[in-house]
Amino acid sequence: MCSALTALVLLAHSLVPNWLGNAGSLLETFLPWTGLLVLPLLVAALVRRSALALVSLLLPALAWGGSFGGRLFDRTGPGGDLTIVSHNVNDENPDPAGTARALAASGAQVIALEELKKPEIPKYEDALAARYPHHSVQGTVGVWSTFPLDDTRPVEIMPWTRALRTTVDTPRGPVAVFVAHLPSVRVRLDAGFTANGRDEAIGRLANAVAAERSPRTVLVGDFNGTADDRALEPITTRMRSAQEQAGDGFGFSWPAGLPMARIDQVFVAGVRPTASWTLPATGSDHLPVAASLAL
């Protein structure tokens, strides 16, 4: 029975209702980890010496493999015309300049930063100026580029600016780039998964992306949600996750010390991701994420 329930959760997680404390979104945030439920079931089957219980474990194992098995393999490919890095740098980062230098060492042509603290912005600007002469900061998000930027403007997803849109003029033509930092979420006993503010911001961001006229669009940032979370469907129905298309493993990005969820994303439309990966930890509580894109 427990094996069947575990398999059912994996296969029918979209049926878990969100009206009760956003329980469905909370489950989907950590959905790949539900496979660990097989371990205590395996121990129980071995203790009981039950052949039937052991065979029943095939149900959740096959369900997990069908849902996530492909992510265990290296899906990266050769090529790529544009490399972009996105990083929530943490407004309490003790070493902004060191973080900026580490990101620049990745060789990316575009660096997007979220959770910029106003007094610390000059430190990022100084550390990135030599390699990235083109940049713009809008509120708490910013973009630095080796290529010229055009039509840069804030995107209204909240009362204060936490998203922007710009055009990166690459040698292979323009690419629209959105950078966003969605509201934080919490798990509270009295309210469940407090994601309503984030979900409202997702709707506004999705509308801005839908209105974009560029045939090549990239959306990066800290979404405080995974691509499996139904709340991101306004985005994921229009754009592809670079990690799911061209990653190596799950690419968990948070928390940096023991990554358990991929809440930092690179979504694309009209371009082909050739590789997606995480960078080493900086002074932030998030890992930087990167993707190489064929234009």
pLDDT for 221-259, tens place per residue?
Answer: 999 999 999 999 999 999 999 999 999 999 999 999 999
pLDDT at 43: 65
Domain ranges of the chain: 2-72, 82-294
Pick from 114, 150, 144: nearest CA to 130? 144
Q: How many Cα atoms sit within 13 Å of 163 on the Cβ side?
A: 26
Evaluate if residue 2 carries a pLDDT over 70: no
Task: Note whether 246 and 76 are within 8 A (CB).
Answer: yes
Q: What is the pTM of this model?
A: 0.94
Its sign, for the CA torsion 123, 129, 132, 133, is: positive
Q: Per-residue confidence at 59, pLDDT binned at 50, 70, 90?
A: confident
**Averaged pLDDT for residues 41-47:** 66
pLDDT at 20: 86
Q: Return the CATH number of the domain spanning residue range 82-294.
A: 3.60.10.10
For 83-128, the pLDDT digits (tens) are 999 999 999 999 999 999 999 999 999 999 999 999 999 999 999 9
Output 186 or 57, whichever has higher pLDDT: 186
pLDDT at 202: 98
Task: Note whether 6 and 41 are within 8 A (CB).
Answer: yes
**Averaged pLDDT for residues 146-151:** 98
